[in-house]
Structure 1
Amino acid sequence: MAVTAPPSLRASRKPSVSFFAIWNMCFGFLGLQFGLGLQNANVSRIFQTLGASLDEIPALWIAAPLTGLLVQPLIGYLSDRTWTRLGRRRPYLLVGALLSSAALLIMPMSPALWVAAVMLWVLDASINTSMQPFRAFVGDQLDLSQRPTGYAMQSFFIGVGAVVASALPWTFEKVGISNTAPAGIVPDTVRYSFFLGALVLFVAVLWTVFSTREYPPEELEAFQDDAPELAAEAHPNRARGLIWVLFGIAGLFAVYRAAIDKQLYLICAMVLIWGIALLLQKKGKPSGLFGTIMLNIETMPDTMKKLAPVQFFSWLALFSMWIYTTSAVAETWFGSHDPSSAAYNEGANWVGVLFAAYNGFAALASIIVPGIAKKIGLRWTHLANVWLGGLGLLSFLVIKDPVWLIASMLGVGFAWASILSLPYAIVSDSVPAKTMGVYMGIFNFFIVIPQLVAASVLGFILKIAFEGKPVFALALGGVSFLISGALVLRLPKEKKA
């Protein structure tokens, strides 16, 4: 447990650290994004190869956001209260890396669809075990003036890792490795990519774990903290909880009676569970995991509340892209929706190139985004970047030559770089250092809830409004980016370092 420093000692700021110190503390993100890049570009392909229909894929993808919703607040809560010989956050980085690497080795060898689905749960839970402490780690180690640089450095490594990971199947095919396989078997190009990814992920995280140090709790507490102290007591609203419960029950009944898309059950269940959580909240000073997280949700800073819809629409767009780009490109530009055909796999490999392109553009954008933010502010910089992403996804409706889709990825890359850095820089300035971990976990709610919404309703919307054509999911993602950008202007002006 952290020791609270006397007010007289809480006067100094964290010292500035060198470029290479920031490099070391962020390098592990190269490995984590290697794993996520492989997941985002290839999991839909693996599912379809193992027999999943296009309608089933969004539900199978639910594993990713749901594990984040559960794991990140838990890990944040625990890491805020941890101190070992390895430090506060680094034990979680190491454990997450070990489990993630194991999942990457197993997933492409899955003999059946259910095995691959379970491995996605394991992979995403493990990556989240490392991801959340990495976000808090930068907030712990860096002063207000260096946090935008730290999160931009994370974005750079995310971009570099994902570029290589996304392009690996295409690269392996070019050197002669088979890109097709019998029905129900994942091609060797994908298998070898995941095997290499497991190695890179583990080594990169290991580099950060053993090349960095952490402030002891009492020393961290002694630094001046610009964030306000938040309320220490809960004031539950039972009436609000009851309303959410009734809405959830009514929704479940409506979906059942109307016999509409079963994936809509998830949205109704989320509403019901949130209502129950509000009803269970106790008045007074909270104790334990549940009470602490509920209090932190209730007392989250106004900045976090205003960031919620910004993040919601940004990640709704991203998840639309990750789920449907493979099927959209294979069907629209390569003329196939048969996962065992050469045309489909050629299209799937091209998606890997496109994903490598947007991550490469993101790596370059992460170098210039901090400079732009210093000149025009975090809000306007983020607005411009996510609008570029919106135009990029909307352009899928008009481009005829798949090669030109790389130009679309330029806008997506700028949006991705901004989403991975600027919101975290904003929120880290608004919460106390001693609860940085749990608040970063709660901040993840604004990322995973839109992903759950996307997994629940996108297939339904495509079916009833767009004849099931997956390219329109990307267009809906483009509109979501534009809405996200407009909502950025609701945020208060950022504090000066």
Structure 2
Amino acid sequence: MASPTAAVSADTRDKPRLSFWQIWNMSFGFLGIQFGFALQNANVSRIFETLGGTEIALYWLAAPLTGMLVQPIIGYMSDRTWSPKWGRRRPFFLVGAVLASLALLVMPNVTALWMAVGMLWIMDSSINISMEPFRALVGDLLPSEQRTTGFAAQTFFIGVGAVVASALPWMFTNWLGISNTAPAGQIPLSVKYAFYIGGAVFLAAVLWTVFNTKEYPPENLVEFEEEKRRTAGFWNGVRESFAGIFHMPKTMAQLAVVQFFSWLALFSMWIYTTPAVTSHIYHTTDTTSKLYNEGADWVGICFAVYNGVSAIAALLLPLVARRTSRRVTHLLCLVAGGLGLISIYFIQDPNMLLLSMVGVGVAWASILSVPYAMLAGALPANKMGYYMGVFNFFIVIPQVVAGLILGFFTQHVFHGESVYTLVLGGCSMIISGLLTLRVDDADDIRLPAAEQTIQTSSPGYDTTVESDPRL
């Protein structure tokens, strides 16, 4: 395994610091991407149950299996793409946005369970085509000292997009009087309209980034073209992507374990919050009843709250990391999220769920930014997209595990009580936080010498903020 510092040294470009608006523009597309993911996370289990599905966790396997294939290959391909007009990552933003927007329009109109599972497969693949190059873009364009800020900006837009998208069905019903119930086997109009809005916002937000962001060309175009010819081919990309698991930098391997437990917790939440809340708090499992759909709509509000909290928390993470470290920051955030999930078991008043979601939102902000900031400092610049794609395996693998075991635990160990599955997820998130302390963060390792140099060269003037790589 390559050492973190050796990996960092591979990035020889002297990248300029970007302005606030440049970081804003390059991150804005995530507003649309998260519109798609939020609608998917808050409503797909509801759609499955409406269409008569019972093995909900198993149906969700469609999403990670496609992500496992799509994200590393897209990362591999985008590393080997360059167009003077469109750049390296932006062509993939655009293609994914078009496909995902179309999938969002189709999803609420499915009429059978097998169609819903298949459309989840297509929709998740399309969103992944856009999403993974966005992660690599931060490593491409930002110097080390701005990467945490770059990922935090993405997290801010993720939060804003998810707040609105998650709450849309509730807003359509409570503000516009659009029905949130429908005959058996049909999707309510409030959910349909939410997906239509999501498709439009997804495309518009990604187009903003595509047309308002400039990318750097390869440092040596001749060598780049030679490398592209030598490693071209779809199957070569597949082979290299899966081989990447066995050649990870040390920091990436350590973060992989952290990711596994944190994302296992997240998937337990996304898959089982709707059945847990409707059965444990609203005391119904009848998907055609008004009470069930009120509970399902309230889950959307809960998801909006945790995403709203994450948008605010993302702005504070660089400050906390500067005072402590990125590892300690991630630990504190994940413990807050784990306690938030566990607390749902003790709640009977739906309004109190919003307090639980505060903890989840703090954890979500950190999960979306801090691991990627630590990872970016440990990767060679010419393989940023590739390794970011390989890193996605450790989001996908826990989702596969969730699909295979959470259903068994829920039905046979917890006797159908989904709320216990959320408690299990909370414990997993706390374990993830503790494992973060084992991670070698290259930027934290380099920080003391950097601070010493600053303090020696500039006595009486604190410039640590500008030079701190944890920002």
- Equivalent position of 1:27 in the other structure: 28
CA distance in 2, matches of 1:312, 1:483: 10
Q: CA deviation at 1:289?
A: 1.8
CA distance in 1, matches of 2:348, 2:291: 17
Contiguous gaps of at least 5 residues in structure 1: 1-8, 223-286
Is the 8 Å Cα contact of residues 262 and 429 (structure 2) preserved in structure 1? yes
CA distance in 1, matches of 2:115, 2:238: 31
1:385 aligns with 2:384: no
- Equivalent position of 1:191 in the other structure: 192
- Equivalent position of 1:426 in the other structure: 374
**TM-score, reference length from structure 1:** 0.83
- Equivalent position of 2:110 in the other structure: 110
- Equivalent position of 1:242 in the other structure: none
Which amino acid letter does the alignment assign opposite residue 489 of structure 1?
A: L
Q: CA deviation at 1:11?
A: 5.6
1:449 aligns with 2:448: no
Is the 8 Å Cα contact of residues 281 and 347 (structure 2) preserved in structure 1? no
- Equivalent position of 1:273 in the other structure: none
Q: CA deviation at 1:217?
A: 1.1
Is the 8 Å Cα contact of residues 251 and 441 (structure 2) preserved in structure 1? no
Q: CA deviation at 1:288?
A: 2.2
CA distance in 2, matches of 1:220, 1:139: 19
CA distance in 2, matches of 1:389, 1:487: 15
CA distance in 2, matches of 1:288, 1:45: 39
Which amino acid letter does the alignment assign opposite residue 113 of structure 1?
A: L
Runs of 4+, deviation exceeding 3 Å: 9-12, 219-222
Is the 8 Å Cα contact of residues 58 and 407 (structure 2) preserved in structure 1? no
Counterparts of residues 111-150 of structure 1 (less than 5 Å): 111-150=111-150
Is the 8 Å Cα contact of residues 385 and 415 (structure 1) preserved in structure 2? yes
Change (3 A) 1:346 1:294: closer
- Equivalent position of 2:51 in the other structure: 50
1:366-413: CA deviations, max 9, x gaps? 010111111101000000000000000000111121100100000000
Change (3 A) 1:90 1:44: same
CA distance in 1, matches of 2:239, 2:36: 33
Counterparts of residues 249-398 of structure 1 (less than 5 Å): 288-398=236-346
Q: CA deviation at 1:115?
A: 1.2
1:165-219: CA deviations, max 9, x gaps? 0000000001200111111110000000000000000000000000001001126
CA distance in 2, matches of 1:180, 1:64: 27
- Equivalent position of 2:76 in the other structure: 77
CA distance in 1, matches of 2:33, 2:120: 14
Contiguous gaps of at least 5 residues in structure 2: 1-9, 224-234, 448-468
Is the 8 Å Cα contact of residues 377 and 494 (structure 1) preserved in structure 2? no
CA distance in 2, matches of 1:180, 1:335: 17
CA distance in 1, matches of 2:220, 2:17: 15
Is the 8 Å Cα contact of residues 22 and 213 (structure 2) preserved in structure 1? yes
Is the 8 Å Cα contact of residues 462 and 470 (structure 1) preserved in structure 2? yes
Q: CA deviation at 1:295?
A: 4.2
CA distance in 2, matches of 1:220, 1:67: 32
CA distance in 1, matches of 2:220, 2:147: 19
CA distance in 2, matches of 1:10, 1:146: 15
Is the 8 Å Cα contact of residues 264 and 425 (structure 2) preserved in structure 1? yes
Q: CA deviation at 1:290?
A: 3.7
**TM-score, reference length from structure 2:** 0.88
CA RMSD, aligned part only? 1.6
Q: Which range moves more in the overlay, 297-306 or 376-385?
A: 297-306
Which amino acid letter does the alignment assign opposite residue 154 of structure 1?
A: Q
Q: CA deviation at 1:493?
A: 4.1
Which amino acid letter does the alignment assign opposite residue 437 of structure 2?
A: L
Could you say what secondary structure the match of 2:423 adopts?
A: helix
Which amino acid letter does the alignment assign opposite residue 75 of structure 1?
A: I
1:24-77: CA deviations, max 9, x gaps? 000000000000000000000011111112xx1111111111111010011011
Is the 8 Å Cα contact of residues 221 and 434 (structure 1) preserved in structure 2? no
Is the 8 Å Cα contact of residues 170 and 300 (structure 2) preserved in structure 1? yes
CA distance in 2, matches of 1:429, 1:490: 16
Change (3 A) 1:19 1:335: same
Change (3 A) 1:80 1:11: closer
Which amino acid letter does the alignment assign opposite residue 46 of structure 1?
A: I
CA distance in 1, matches of 2:307, 2:163: 5
1:251-270: CA deviations, max 9, x gaps? xxxxxxxxxxxxxxxxxxxx
1:148-177: CA deviations, max 9, x gaps? 000000000000000000000000001200
Could you say what secondary structure the match of 2:287 adopts?
A: coil
- Equivalent position of 2:227 in the other structure: none
1:233-279: CA deviations, max 9, x gaps? xxxxxxxxxxxxxxxxxxxxxxxxxxxxxxxxxxxxxxxxxxxxxxx
Q: CA deviation at 1:342?
A: 0.8
Is the 8 Å Cα contact of residues 366 and 418 (structure 1) preserved in structure 2? yes
CA distance in 2, matches of 1:449, 1:221: 37
Q: Which range moves more in the overlay, 325-334 or 412-421?
A: 325-334
Q: CA deviation at 1:291?
A: 3.9
CA distance in 2, matches of 1:491, 1:367: 23
